[in-house]
Amino acid sequence: MTPHIRAAALTLAVLLTASACAKSEEPQSAPAATGTAGRQVVQTPSGTAGPTCTLDQFGGTRFDLRTATVGFSQSEKEANPFRIAETKSIRDEAAKLGIKDLKVTNAQSQFSKQITDVQQLIAQGVQLLVIAPLNSDGWEPVLQQAAAKKIPIITVDRKINAKPCSDYLTFIGSDFYEQGKRAADRMIDALGGKGKVAILLGAPGNNVTTERTNGFKDRVKEKAPDITISFEQTGEFAREKGQQVTEQLIQSNPDINGIYAENDEMALGAVTALKGAGKEAGDIKIVSVDGTRSAVQAIADGWLHAVIESNPRFGPLAFETAQKFLDGEAIPDKVIISDRDYDTTNAKDSLGEAY
């Protein structure tokens, strides 16, 4: 190779590398976990304890997932990393398994649309439904239609208030009450057991908000009676709303010491509000739940104290559960996954595993 050709080849390689790096930083992409890190792991031994359901009990018939029509109903706008990673995980695992007909809908954060979406999926002949519910109640029309056709439903991330093994098959997700308790432990540690704390509540109408709130409050009451929860308002799991609520918080409660945000998007909105108010990193301790890459970076930057993970990569476990069910294995009514913590001791080294 001549020197000129060698130089041209080197230049091209540099340009291609730079282009690849730029693409990996696009905001709408969901970063893949490094190696097997980030894959959901079922809690042991209690993660699958409780009542179980078999194909015979459910009353359905066996089918081949690869040739079946499978529906996935996403609840919210894919404007935050959790939903982006969740949908990507479902799509990626379906492709990996060779599932040829995966139908994906998005309710755009409108519950009435999600009900219509799922009804249309049923009308289109889906044989398996994976649903990320927006709300926990109000699913009766869908459940009745699915039950009539013996369509198994796996709910992910949020529960529906219905009967497993008849209305739906199983729930896969985190222990949200435990997440709230663990977030409280981190806040208690950050404040030395005393101070005033605000809660940025998640969206109303679902079990995630209720359980993360109750877990946090119960733990504070148990372990830190000198911590006062002096402010609560919904930030609707949205960054912009989290910022707006925190701006109001700073005005009404200027002596606040800590903020518990029930997801990372609200926490990052709170950071924006604090910066706008002239606060310094660490002035107000923030603990949140999710484990997005931006939140883990905020820990490294000093703005967040800790994050309790809530892993959105449901694809492998959802389809593994469905296959076991179709193979005649007993499926528990809930499959609880293990979630890690992020703090200043591991944030920088864990960015590649966040989503």
pLDDT digits (tens, 9 = 90+) for 15-52: 333 333 323 223 344 444 433 457 778 875 455 557 99
Flag whether 119 is in a domain: yes
Flag whether 95 is in a domain: yes
194 versus 35: the higher-pLDDT residue is 194
Judge if 109 and 181 occupy the same domain: no
State the maximum Cα–Cα separation within the chain, in Å, rounded to a whole number.
76
CA distances to 196, 199, 285, 295, 321 from 303, rounded to whole Å, are 18, 17, 8, 9, 38
The residues near 248 (Cβ < 8 Å, ≥ 6 apart) are 233
Residue 300: CA count within 13 A, CB half-sphere = 14
pLDDT higher than 90, residue 182: yes
Query: What average pLDDT does the segment 125-138 reach?
Result: 97
Judge if 192 and 294 occupy the same domain: yes
Judge if 75 and 57 occupy the same domain: yes
8 versus 351: the higher-pLDDT residue is 351
Note the pLDDT of residue 40: 79
CA distances to 33, 68, 176 from 89, rounded to whole Å, are 11, 19, 21
Note the pLDDT of residue 259: 98
CATH of the domain at 85: 3.40.50.2300
Q: Do residues 329 and 164 touch, judged by C-beta distance below 8 A?
A: no
pLDDT higher than 50, residue 220: yes
Judge if 101 and 165 occupy the same domain: yes
Note the pLDDT of residue 253: 97
Q: Do residues 270 and 239 touch, judged by C-beta distance below 8 A?
A: no
Note the pLDDT of residue 32: 42
Flag whether 26 is in a domain: no
- The pTM of this model reads 0.86
pLDDT higher than 50, residue 341: yes
Axis-axis angle for helices 239-252, 264-276 (nearest 10): 50
Judge if 151 and 210 occupy the same domain: no
Tens of pLDDT along 52-64? 999 999 999 999 9
Q: Which residues of 245-277 are buried (b: 16+ CB within 10 A; e: fewer)?
A: bbbebbeeeeebbbbbbbbbbbbbbbbbbbeee
Note the pLDDT of residue 7: 39
Judge if 63 and 158 occupy the same domain: yes
Tens of pLDDT along 91-119? 999 999 999 999 999 999 999 999 999 99
Judge if 77 and 185 occupy the same domain: no
Tens of pLDDT along 280-332? 999 999 999 999 999 999 999 999 999 999 999 999 999 999 999 999 999 99
Task: Tell me, rounded to whole angstroms, the distance of Cα 1 from its chain centroid.
Answer: 52
131 versus 10: the higher-pLDDT residue is 131
Note the pLDDT of residue 34: 36
pLDDT higher than 90, residue 194: yes
The average confidence (pLDDT) of the chain is 90
Q: How many domains does the chain have?
A: 2
Note the pLDDT of residue 41: 83
Nearest of 292, 196, 279 to residue 237 by alpha carbon = 292
Note the pLDDT of residue 50: 72
Distance separating alpha carbons of residues 318 and 155, to the nearest angstrom = 9
- Per the structure, the complete domain to which residue 146 belongs is given by 49-172+313-334
Flag whether 39 is in a domain: no
Axis-axis angle for helices 293-300, 264-276 (nearest 10): 40
Flag whether 19 is in a domain: no
pLDDT higher than 90, residue 225: yes
Note the pLDDT of residue 47: 54
Judge if 80 and 123 occupy the same domain: yes
Length of the chain counted residue by residue: 355
Q: Do residues 160 and 334 touch, judged by C-beta distance below 8 A?
A: no
Judge if 127 and 197 occupy the same domain: no
Flag whether 2 is in a domain: no
Judge if 154 and 61 occupy the same domain: yes
Distance separating alpha carbons of residues 306 and 257, to the nearest angstrom = 15
Tens of pLDDT along 144-177? 999 999 999 999 999 999 999 999 999 999 999 9
Judge if 145 and 103 occupy the same domain: yes
Flag whether 287 is in a domain: yes
Question: What values do phi and psi take at 337, rounded to 5?
Answer: -100, 155
Nearest of 258, 330, 326 to residue 287 by alpha carbon = 258
Flag whether 13 is in a domain: no
Judge if 189 and 204 occupy the same domain: yes
Q: Do residues 95 and 120 touch, judged by C-beta distance below 8 A?
A: no
